[in-house]
Amino acid sequence: VDDNPLPYVLTLSGTLKSPKISFHPPFLMLMPVPLDVETKAVVTIIPQDFIRPSRISVKLPEHELPDGTRTCVRFLEGQDIVLSSDGTANELTCLICFKSSKPMSFLREMLFIDQEEN
């Protein structure tokens, strides 16, 4: 290489995938229950193409009843996406529950985000 003055050109190319999450089930409907009885469901969050550990949180519009009842969201085994040595990420389990003292029906969107608001 030192004896040859010709320049060497090295071209690199690659693809960076954006991290995303999918859900199982993809759509959730809490079952009707008697008044003052909690209804709940478990959702599995499946991270894909994450290149570094991240922390997931949830944003949902406030929908609080006059008696203080509202939707509850809990991460059962933590909120952190941890990458393994083979590049895969752990799945997260989320419990969603609701209890009301009055009959009601509503449709809400839940937004799961990482610490960078993605």
Tell me: the pLDDT tens digits for 69-99?
A: 677 889 999 999 998 888 788 999 999 988 8
Instruction: Give the pLDDT score at 15.
Output: 83
What's the CA gap between 104 and 118, in Å, rounded?
32
Higher local confidence (pLDDT), 41 or 106: 41
Structure tokens belonging to residue 73: 């969201």
pLDDT band, very low/low/confident/very high, at 59 (cuts 50, 70, 90) = confident
Identify the residue whose tokens are 């809490």: 30
Task: Work out the number of other CB atoms within 10 angstroms of the CB of residue 83.
Answer: 15
Residue in this structure with the two tokens 């003292």, named with its chain if needed: 101
pLDDT tens digits, 9-27: 888 888 877 888 999 999 8
Tell me the three state secondary structure of residue 70: coil
Locate the domains of the chain by residue range: 20-112
Phi, psi of 18 (to 5 degrees): -75, 135
Which pLDDT score is estimated for 17?
79
Pairwise CA distance, residues 10 & 19, whole Å:
28
